Structure 1
Amino acid sequence: MQLWQLLRDQVCGEGHKTSPDAADHRLAQAIQQEEYQALRLAISLRTLVLAAVTVLLTVELRWPLALSLYCYLAILAVSGWVQLWLRRPDRERPWMHWAFPMIDMTVLVAGIVLPNPFDPYPLPPPMQLGFDTILYVVLFLVLSGLGQSARIVFFSTVAAIVAWTAGTLFILWQPGVHLGYSFDNLATMDAAERTRYILDPWSVRLGEFTPRLILLAMIGLLMTVSVIRSRHLAARQVEAERARRNLSRHFSPHIAAQIAQMDDTLGQVKQLDAVVMFADLVGFTRISDHRPPAETVAMLRDVHGCLSRAVADSRGTLDKYLGDGIMASFGTPESGPHDASAALQAARTMLHGIEALNTRRQQQGQPVLQLAIGLHYGPLTLGNIGDESRVEYALIGETVNIAHRLEQMTRDLKAQVCLSQGFIDKLTAETRGDPGILRDMVMLKAQAIRGLRDRMAVWVLPQAGVTGDAGAQPQQPTIH
């Protein structure tokens, strides 16, 4: 039933809600464009085939017998390019799906069965149906399949059957031609009777005519099903790719790829060590309160674009937008050997991006923006939360809370970036103790962080104009 439904949808153009290539208007347009490109290829190959047939007939028939056939071949060539011109996506009409196949098959069969005016010694008309001339009809049937249109293949099959039948009837109407049929088993005839029956040049044998029509129908049906199947698979691939792109708009590409491969709705829970980053604008409410809504949204788009590009360039995962900031992770969904280094590079890229953005804003008389970033490395739990109707991919654990607290601490510490000791330990291990990576960082004394029992040593990148000696542990206010 499913095959019959697909066949009906593709050939008749019905069943719009179930046809895979009509799932929506954009998908139908995309497939229509691909169908036109396939038609262009089919017409080009058709022209090459006609050129090859022209050479073949010239060698076999010689001049002037081949002259009559040149006319039919020229008509077929012109018909192909007219089809390509008329069947552009913006001007194609339903009648073209059956009209052009009928024209092609009629011209082709006419070239086979009509008398050659340049032949001084014509053969008996039934012999025109021999010499494997039906293979030319099959050849054009195959060429129709290259257009990737099930309707064209189906109507080409119908046109081939109708044209071949009409051509055979035309031969039967010629003087001296008769229909040859035998109700006796050929095996019961002696050799002479069988030879006379088979080789009678004035006989159109029913035993040859019927199997040829059946073979044409079978070949056409199989090709129609093949085209439908290929279009169905192409439509599913387009749908899958579109779904993957839609996921990428809501999730980082790494997470989107993992979600797309999930069989279970909620998926599996994973635990690993990774870097969590929080980046947020300082004083956003104060800035946005006195700005038009359109200007505020435009500013947020600029900031989000800057931050998300920095995360993507460092192969991080953008987990979510948080109003005027973001939450990102490095080392999810799979840990890597340079997660901390990538996170610090992303933080520096963000600061440079905001600096460039501030240059433009100052030129436009707008207030400058200040970015605060917190980074922590530690254990995380990854997985979907929610229910069967709606899920959200989430990072859970104390590491997330600490990274958020570090970002908030930058205000009182007069810092742009605040790093935990756990992050520094991971970074040191990755860089093998390279001191240059922390050249502009300042190590502070252990700080009290809300939600943690023990104090934690932190490193900061001071704001412009704030100085300190790295590792000297200058006195700073303690955060409670």
Structure 2
Amino acid sequence: METDTTRQTGKIEKAPALASHFNPLNLLPLLRYVRSTRLEDEARANENKHVRAALEEEKRIGMRIAVWARTIGLIVVAIFLPFVNPRLEVIYYELLLLAFVLLGFAQLRMARVGQSRAELGLIFADFILLTFVLLAPSPFVAEDWPGALQTRFDGFSYFYIMLATGTLAYSWRTIASFGMWVAMAWLSGIAILAFFGRTMPELGGQIRTILADSPRMFELLDPNSVGLPLRFQEVIVFVIASAILALKGWRSNQLLMHQASLASERANLSRYFPPSMVDELAQKTKPVGDVRSQEIAVLFADIVGFTHFAETHEPQEVVTVLRRFHVLLENAVFSNRGTLDKFLGDGVMATFGTPAPHADDAANALQCGRDMLAAMDKWNAERREMELPEIRLSIGIHFGPAILGDIGSERRLEFATLGDTVNVAARLENTTRSLSCRLVASNNLLERIGTDRDRLCNGLESHRALPVRGRETALDVWLLR
């Protein structure tokens, strides 16, 4: 039950007790958490180009949508404003709406990922200008009235337009700050209006006389009162709304970070697998790194005489040649559904049938070898025109069982291909020197080729019982000179 004192003063006796329980230091853990998450997100963005790119793209698209949504909203306000206030003074407010449109496009121009003082300054200028528009009477109004009456037009609701459009573009931390900034701007404007605004004591006295028996009603209708409790209520509700939207923005930001991490993982896969296989791997639920044994084709390719080339040429030229060489071989591997296992300095190791086997793995491996040689022939033709020495390529290909899976420590895992098939393919590549050929493919590989066998085997020469270092039995192979 309210006492007479409560009704007259409008104060609640328990307020001091409640206020005594509030300790600003309780906010420090929250502020530390906000700062730590900001630093963590910035570190992730700096370390991961995909996270950075995702944030920049999100900010760019969000700002564009927000500015146009804001502009359309202001146009709607500009259209209905003359119907609400059909007086000449409405031109003043129409010009101010144009200023808000220009501020919006200025924010679009200054938009940056991370902290931008210019952008934050423009946002705060928005709030200051809106506070001025809502609380300062139009200079074109001829009729005098108390300044406090400016608060009776429910103009505070326009801040929600800025909050709504802000959620489309700004970080959750900025949205959380909206509440504090609006509270500062609005309550400062209310304080200025209360202390320095125009008052009409005579009018207030007349209304007080009429409502002498209803003091609570006079508090609501007093033309000289800014209605401070209602103004605090507006600010508190706005702060709560901005906090809730900031929480939603935080969740969306975490989802964006997760999606960017997935994009980074896909980019890492694309370094080793062709794009079509990356999409296939992304849809699998079984881990790629599970240890298993399966039949695959293994290809080794190497530059013949690279040691001498490196000794007799400048380091920059050596690196330039290697980069072009790696690009040519990488394209051949990926265009034939191969996996680029690793670069071996002046060579590469590629597998076909990893991480998932296909019926045409053997055919793809042999076609890849032919494509590599064709690419090298074209490159050497260019080098001859520039009077540069040719780059000779040797290739060895074998088909058989291999062990696949992650190896290494917890700090650094690597998807590896191991076993006798890998060793034999490397030995076959090495025998190209003694056999004076460019490509050696095992008979095991050719036996696995189904369709298009005649075309793929065209020009190959049979070589029986080739001794392979490290193996007790000889191997039947095919040569391409």
TM-score, structure 1 length as denominator?
Answer: 0.77
After superposition, the Cα gap between the structure-2 partners of 1:71 and 1:122, relative to the gap in structure 1 and judged at 3 Å, is: farther
Letter in 1 for 2:403: T
Name the SS of the counterpart of 2:391 in structure 1. coil
Q: Distance in 2 between matches of 1:36 and 1:142?
A: 17
Name the SS of the counterpart of 1:444 in structure 2. strand
Residue 133 of structure 2 is aligned to residue 108 of structure 1:
no
Q: What percent identity do the matched residue pairs reach?
A: 29
| Other-structure match for 1:79 | 103
Residue 463 of structure 2 is aligned to residue 444 of structure 1:
yes
Gaps of 5+ in 1: 179-191, 464-480
425, 435, 441: which one aligns with 2:454: 435
Residue 356 of structure 2 is aligned to residue 337 of structure 1:
no
| Other-structure match for 2:200 | 175
Residue 323 of structure 2 is aligned to residue 274 of structure 1:
no
Residue 216 of structure 2 is aligned to residue 200 of structure 1:
no
28, 39, 48: which one aligns with 2:63: 39
Residue 178 of structure 2 is aligned to residue 156 of structure 1:
yes
Deviation digits for residues 278-331 of structure 1 (CA, Å, limit 9, x no counterpart)? 112333334444333433333332222221211011120111222322111001
Q: Distance in 2 between matches of 1:332 and 1:375?
A: 15
Q: CA deviation at 1:95?
A: 6.2
TM-score, structure 2 length as denominator?
Answer: 0.77
Name the SS of the counterpart of 2:290 in structure 1. coil
397, 410, 426: which one aligns with 1:388: 410
| Other-structure match for 1:49 | 73
Letter in 1 for 2:360: H
After superposition, the Cα gap between the structure-2 partners of 1:283 and 1:255, relative to the gap in structure 1 and judged at 3 Å, is: farther
> Are the counterparts in 1 of residues 46 and 52 from structure 2 also a CA contact under 8 Å?
no
After superposition, the Cα gap between the structure-2 partners of 1:401 and 1:26, relative to the gap in structure 1 and judged at 3 Å, is: closer
Gaps of 5+ in 2: 1-27, 205-212
After superposition, the Cα gap between the structure-2 partners of 1:410 and 1:103, relative to the gap in structure 1 and judged at 3 Å, is: closer
> Are the counterparts in 2 of residues 386 and 392 from structure 1 also a CA contact under 8 Å?
yes
More divergent stretch after superposition (118-127 vs 269-278): 118-127
| Other-structure match for 2:5 | none
Q: Which protein is richer in helix relative to its size?
A: 2
After superposition, the Cα gap between the structure-2 partners of 1:448 and 1:32, relative to the gap in structure 1 and judged at 3 Å, is: closer
Deviation digits for residues 111-164 of structure 1 (CA, Å, limit 9, x no counterpart)? 223334545667775554345422111112222333324454344322322333
Give the aligned length.
Answer: 439
Q: CA deviation at 1:196?
A: 4.1
Name the SS of the counterpart of 1:411 in structure 2. helix
Name the SS of the counterpart of 2:137 in structure 1. coil
> Are the counterparts in 2 of residues 448 and 454 from structure 1 also a CA contact under 8 Å?
yes
443, 451, 459: which one aligns with 1:421: 443
Q: CA deviation at 1:354?
A: 0.8
Q: CA deviation at 1:69?
A: 1.5
Q: Distance in 1 between matches of 2:357 and 2:426?
A: 21
Name the SS of the counterpart of 2:404 in structure 1. strand
> Are the counterparts in 2 of residues 101 and 159 from structure 1 also a CA contact under 8 Å?
no
> Are the counterparts in 1 of residues 70 and 161 from structure 2 also a CA contact under 8 Å?
no
| Other-structure match for 2:117 | 94
How does 1:316-395 map onto structure 2 within 5 Å? 316-395=338-417
Letter in 2 for 1:451: G
Q: CA deviation at 1:242?
A: 4.2
Q: Distance in 2 between matches of 1:3 and 1:16?
A: 14
